[in-house]
Amino acid sequence: MKSLSAKKTVVHLASLAGIEINGNQPWDIKVNNERFFARLLNENSLGLGESYMDGWWDCDQIDEMINRILQSNIEDKVKKNIRLAFSLLLTKTVNFQNKKRAKIVGKKHYDTGNFLFQNMLDKDMSYTCGYWKDTNNLDDAQSAKCDLICQKLGFQPGMSVLDIGCGWGAFAKYAAKNYGVNVTGVTISKEQVDLGTQLCTGLPVEIRFQDYRDVKGQFDRIVSLGMFEHVGPKNYRTFMKTAYRCLKEKGLLLLHTIGSNKTGINKNPWLTKYIFPNGWIPSAKQITKSYERLFVMEDWHNFGFDYDKTLMAWHDNFEQNWHKLTSLYDERFKRMWDFYLLICAGSFRARVNQLWQIVLSKEGVPEGYQSIR
């Protein structure tokens, strides 16, 4: 293999996933710059993403290409270069999600622009996986997700709810409007606070610009939807201790998070650099260890395949509304955003990433928790 040129090596590896260079299938890679081959071998996933942003290659169905690559385990056959290995080593020793650095992802990603997300998400701007069990459109899937959570937590009128990582308040709005609960949401994005507050006008919802570690008081229920991916392994225990402190004795916590099949360096260098700084996908082992001696696990629900559908729906909206965004973002941004949404969809289609909803209680629900599906 070492004697092969970079091009021959890439052609061989791609073939293992049923991908042909300059082939005719929609998942085949069409190379526009021959330097792509060496760049891919030298920089792996970072080089793949950056070379796409630079226009060095194209593919009609990047989501399916990634699905095939992940299912064939090609990445295990590619030698990691020293620079990438060093960056991954740092993640083992440095707390990149401490209080000071935690706000970076808010500025880098969630403050990219409300208008962008308004033209990509559902009508209520829910930026987490929808629940597609009995529906075939994004708006209904997101409403179904919100309702599923409300039922799992047994909401009753007047309950106090803490929403850690509340986004633009989509869940808070749904829960307050349909179940009569009082919601306090916290986020590290100023853009989300401003628009979320507007969207929840007239409802018992307060959205704060606040780190979850600084929340005071106790609540009947706690939800955290799509935020745990930004917490980081060194802070998982702190997150759980904070939730424990903020949850009343007979309360319930629902954690909605992307999950990895394996424990380790669960991060993509390109996604970390361009989309989610300091992001980290937790494994089941890491999550269970984080709440030992604090919570009882009452329910663990996986509907990861629904994230593929959600991401593809977001991408459809982004494509259809791109003409509204051209005055704000250039073509390189569009290629970056396309790549982000489509590689994530492919990862869920390949089932290497999951979507977990985990219900936790402090002492165990008397007479047992009744699972809702």
* Stretch 301-316: mean pLDDT: 98
- In this prediction, residue 98 has a pLDDT band, given cuts at 50, 70 and 90, of low
Residues 301-325, mean pLDDT to the nearest whole number: 98
pLDDT band at 278 (very low <50, low <70, confident <90, very high): confident
pLDDT value at 75 more than 80: no
Q: What residue has token string 């997150």?
A: 239
pLDDT at 313: 98
Tell me the pLDDT of the chain averaged across its residues. Answer: 90
- The pLDDT, as a whole number, for residue 279 is 86
Please report, rounded to a whole number, the percentage of residues in the chain having pLDDT higher than 70: 88
Architecture of the domain made up of 97-361:
3-Layer(aba) Sandwich (3.40)
Q: Provide the pLDDT confidence category of residue 71 given band limits of 50, 70 and 90.
A: very high
How confident is the model at residue 85, as a pLDDT? 40
Extract the tokens encoding 295.
């919570």
pLDDT score at 231: 94
Q: How far is CA 191 from the centre of its chain?
A: 18
**What confidence score (pLDDT) does residue 78 get?**
58
Is residue 1 within 8 Å of residue 47, measured between CB atoms? no
Q: What residues are labeled active site?
A: 344
Per the model's pLDDT, the better-predicted residue between 89 and 167 turns out to be 167
pLDDT digits (tens, 9 = 90+) for 194-240: 999 999 999 999 999 999 999 999 999 999 999 999 999 999 999 99
Residue 88 predicted with pLDDT over 80 = no
Q: What percentage of the chain exceeds 90 in pLDDT?
A: 82
Strands (E), the chain: 30-31, 57-58, 160-164, 182-187, 205-209, 219-225, 247-260, 296-302, 353-361
Which ranges of 180-265 does DSSP label H, i.e. alpha helix? Answer: 190-199, 236-246
Name beta bridge partners: 205.
183
The pLDDT score that the predictor gives to residue 197 is 97
User: In which residue ranges of the chain is CATH 3.40.50.150 found?
Assistant: 97-361
Q: Give this prediction's pTM.
A: 0.90
The pLDDT of 10-38, averaged and rounded, is 96
Residue 344 has pLDDT above 50, yes or no: yes
Residue whose entry in the numeric block shows the structure tokens 């699905």? 67
Residue 14 belongs to what H/E stretch?
helix 6-16
Q: What is the mean pLDDT of the segment spanning 346-350?
A: 97
At residue 249, the pLDDT reads 95
pLDDT at 73: 82
Distance CA 107, CA 338 (A): 20
71 and 349 in contact (C-beta within 8 Å)?
no
